[in-house]
Chains A and B, each alone.
Chain A
Amino acid sequence: MRSAALLSEPVLASAGRRARGLPSMSSLAEKDRPIVQLLLNTGTCPRCILRFCCVGSQMLYRHPHKDLLKDLQEFLRKSQEEEDTVCLDVAHPPCKRLRLEPGGEGADGLKHNGAVLQLPSADSGAAAVGCSAGNVCNVCLGILQEFCEADFVKKVCQKVNAADYQFTSFVFSVSLPPQLSVRERAAWLGVKQQMRNLGLPLPKDDIVQLKEAYKWIIHPQLSEELGVPADGKSLFEVSVVFSHPETDEECHFLATACPDCFKPAKNKQSVFTRMAVIKALEKIKEEDFLKHFPWPPSSPKNLCDALEIQCNNGAVFVAGRYNKYSRNLPQTPWIIDGERKLESSVEELISEHLMAQFKADSFNFSSSGREDVDVRTLGNGRPFAIELVNPRRIHFTAEEMKRLQQAINDSSDKIQVRDLQLVTREAIGRMKEGEEEKTKTYSALIWTDKAIQREDIAFLDDIKELKLDQKTPLRVLHRRPLAVRCRLIHTMKSEYIDEHHFRLHLKTQAGTYIKEFVHGDFGRTKPNIGSLLNRTADILELDVESVDVDWPPTLAD
Chain B
Amino acid sequence: MAAGAAGPGGAERYFTRWYKPDVKGRPCEDFCVLQHSNRICVITLAEAHPLLQSGKTIKNINYQISANCSRLQNKVSGKSKRGAQFLTELAPLCRISSSDGEEYTIYSCIRGRLIEVNENILSNPALLQEKPSTEGYIAVVLPKFEESKSITQGLLTQKEYEEVLLKRRSSAS
Interface residues of A (CB under 8 A from B): 447, 449, 471, 474-482, 519-523, 536-540
Specify which chain A residues have a CB less than 8 angstroms from the CB of B77 in the assembled complex: 481
Q: A475 contacts B79, CB within 8 Å?
A: no
A-contacting residues, B140-155, CB 8 Å: 140, 142
Specify which chain B residues have a CB less than 8 angstroms from the CB of A474 in the assembled complex: 36, 38, 40, 42, 140
Q: B135 contacts A538, CB within 8 Å?
A: no
Specify which chain B residues have a CB less than 8 angstroms from the CB of A521 in the assembled complex: 11
Chain A, interface SS category: loop
Specify which chain B residues have a CB less than 8 angstroms from the CB of A480 in the assembled complex: 79
Residue of A nearest to B78 (CB): A481
Specify which chain B residues have a CB less than 8 angstroms from the CB of A471 in the assembled complex: 116
- Taken together as a complex, chains A and B put the C-alpha atoms of A454 and B21 apart, in Å, by 44
CB distance from A459 to the nearest CB of B (A): 22
- Taken together as a complex, chains A and B put the C-alpha atoms of A471 and B42 apart, in Å, by 15
Specify which chain B residues have a CB less than 8 angstroms from the CB of A520 in the assembled complex: 11, 134-135
Q: Does B107 contact A (CB under 8 A)?
A: no
Q: Can you list 29 A-B pairs with a CB-CB distance of less than 8 A? A: A447-B7, A449-B5, A474-B38, A474-B40, A474-B42, A475-B14, A475-B38, A477-B142, A478-B36, A479-B38, A481-B79, A482-B116, A520-B134, A520-B135, A522-B11, A522-B42, A522-B135, A522-B137, A523-B120, A523-B131, A523-B134, A523-B135, A536-B5, A536-B134, A538-B7, A538-B8, A538-B10, A538-B11, A539-B9
Q: Does B81 contact A (CB under 8 A)?
A: yes
Q: B134 contacts A449, CB within 8 Å?
A: no
CB distance from B112 to the nearest CB of A (A): 11
Specify which chain A residues have a CB less than 8 angstroms from the CB of B10 in the assembled complex: 538
Q: Does B91 contact A (CB under 8 A)?
A: no
Residue of B nearest to A448 (CB): B7
CB distance from A448 to the nearest CB of B (A): 9
Specify which chain A residues have a CB less than 8 angstroms from the CB of B7 in the assembled complex: 447, 449, 519, 536-538
- Taken together as a complex, chains A and B put the C-alpha atoms of A424 and B170 apart, in Å, by 74
Interface bracket on B: 20 to 34
- Taken together as a complex, chains A and B put the C-alpha atoms of A523 and B14 apart, in Å, by 17
CB distance from A444 to the nearest CB of B (A): 13
- Taken together as a complex, chains A and B put the C-alpha atoms of A521 and B137 apart, in Å, by 11
- Taken together as a complex, chains A and B put the C-alpha atoms of A478 and B9 apart, in Å, by 22
Specify which chain B residues have a CB less than 8 angstroms from the CB of A519 in the assembled complex: 7, 11
Q: Does B39 contact A (CB under 8 A)?
A: yes
CB distance from A174 to the nearest CB of B (A): 44
Specify which chain A residues have a CB less than 8 angstroms from the CB of B81 in the assembled complex: 481-482
Q: A447 contacts B8, CB within 8 Å?
A: yes
Specify which chain B residues have a CB less than 8 angstroms from the CB of A539 in the assembled complex: 9
- Taken together as a complex, chains A and B put the C-alpha atoms of A478 and B141 apart, in Å, by 10
CB distance from A327 to the nearest CB of B (A): 11
CB distance from B131 to the nearest CB of A (A): 8
Q: Does B76 contact A (CB under 8 A)?
A: yes
Specify which chain A residues have a CB less than 8 angstroms from the CB of B94 in the assembled complex: none
Q: Does B127 contact A (CB under 8 A)?
A: yes
Q: A478 contacts B142, CB within 8 Å?
A: yes
CB distance from B138 to the nearest CB of A (A): 11
Q: B135 contacts A477, CB within 8 Å?
A: no
Q: B9 contacts A540, CB within 8 Å?
A: yes
CB distance from B57 to the nearest CB of A (A): 21
- Taken together as a complex, chains A and B put the C-alpha atoms of A175 and B42 apart, in Å, by 58
CB distance from A529 to the nearest CB of B (A): 11
- Taken together as a complex, chains A and B put the C-alpha atoms of A476 and B142 apart, in Å, by 12
Given A522-B137, A538-B9, A540-B8: A478 touches B127 (CB 8 Å cut-off)? no
Q: B127 contacts A475, CB within 8 Å?
A: no
Interface string of B1-36 (1 = CB under 8 A from A): 000010111110010000000000000000000001
- Taken together as a complex, chains A and B put the C-alpha atoms of A520 and B79 apart, in Å, by 22
Residue of B nearest to A523 (CB): B135
Residue of B nearest to A471 (CB): B116
> Which among A474, A519, A521 has the highest number of chain B CB atoms within 10 Å?
A474
Q: A477 contacts B120, CB within 8 Å?
A: no
Q: Does B52 contact A (CB under 8 A)?
A: no
CB distance from A223 to the nearest CB of B (A): 53
Q: B76 contacts A482, CB within 8 Å?
A: yes
Specify which chain B residues have a CB less than 8 angstroms from the CB of A522 in the assembled complex: 11, 42, 118, 134-135, 137
> Which among A471, A476, A477, A480 has the highest number of chain B CB atoms within 10 Å?
A477
Specify which chain B residues have a CB less than 8 angstroms from the CB of A537 in the assembled complex: 7
Q: Does B115 contact A (CB under 8 A)?
A: yes
CB distance from A291 to the nearest CB of B (A): 53
- Taken together as a complex, chains A and B put the C-alpha atoms of A520 and B127 apart, in Å, by 14
Specify which chain A residues have a CB less than 8 angstroms from the CB of B42 in the assembled complex: 474, 522
Residue of B nearest to A516 (CB): B11
Specify which chain A residues have a CB less than 8 angstroms from the CB of B76 in the assembled complex: 481-482
- Taken together as a complex, chains A and B put the C-alpha atoms of A522 and B11 apart, in Å, by 8
Q: B9 contacts A477, CB within 8 Å?
A: no
CB distance from B100 to the nearest CB of A (A): 27
- Taken together as a complex, chains A and B put the C-alpha atoms of A21 and B137 apart, in Å, by 89
CB distance from B78 to the nearest CB of A (A): 5
Q: B36 contacts A475, CB within 8 Å?
A: yes
- Taken together as a complex, chains A and B put the C-alpha atoms of A537 and B79 apart, in Å, by 30
